[in-house]
Amino acid sequence: MGRDNSVQKLYRQWANAIKYRHNPRHTEEELKFLQKYLSDWERALYNQMGTIDQRHALDVASTVKKDPRITNEEERTLLIRAALLHDIGKVKGDFTIWQRVMVKLIYMFFPNYRKKLLVDGEKSKRGTLQKAVYVQDVHSKRGAHMLCLGGADQELVQLVKNHHSIPRSRLERCLLDADNLN
């Protein structure tokens, strides 16, 4: 994805974040969807994400649900669950909207500055740009660890853990594509 497309995606994500912040409630249909696909533990993890990440996860799940590359219901169910949970490593309060934008810009245009911020990111105070960069960097592993604590199956854990990595399977590719579209 070129920088122009990345900036357009960033703008779209920012605009959605503003929209979601003003309408954070789930519809009855969305709540039933979550109930259908997630266990109690997984819904608790989903609910500890901020509204922006919850909405994004629902959008990714909607994209996955319609993906023609998924040919059986078992795979579709696994991918919907992974889509709903792929950002659980981003806990409510880890980012402000503006920090999200800054983190994305730093990733796109200032990779050396990103590395500098990461050095002390883990030890940084919550709410700082350093912490936001750190959380963005580790959220997939953090989310996979959370799922392991709840006894999630390894296929789901691996999809969440690898959702920002180079895809090693067709399912990882489907999740990455859906994430990138949203």
Q: Which domains does the chain have, with CATH numbers?
A: 3-181 (1.10.3210)
Could you give the CA distance from residue 2 to residue 5 in angstroms, rounded to a whole number? 5
Confidence of residue 11 (pLDDT cuts 50, 70, 90): confident
pLDDT of the residue at 96: 85
Q: Is 20's pLDDT higher than 70?
A: no
Alpha-carbon torsion (52, 55, 59, 60), positive or negative: positive
Global pTM reads 0.89
Could you give the CA distance from residue 124 to residue 8 in angstroms, rounded to a whole number? 30
pLDDT of the residue at 95: 86
Total count of residues recorded for the chain: 182
Q: Is 161's pLDDT higher than 60?
A: yes
Mean per-residue pLDDT, 45-72: 95
Give which of 84, 68, 100 is closest to 159, Cα–Cα. 84
Mean per-residue pLDDT, 13-28: 71
pLDDT of the residue at 18: 67
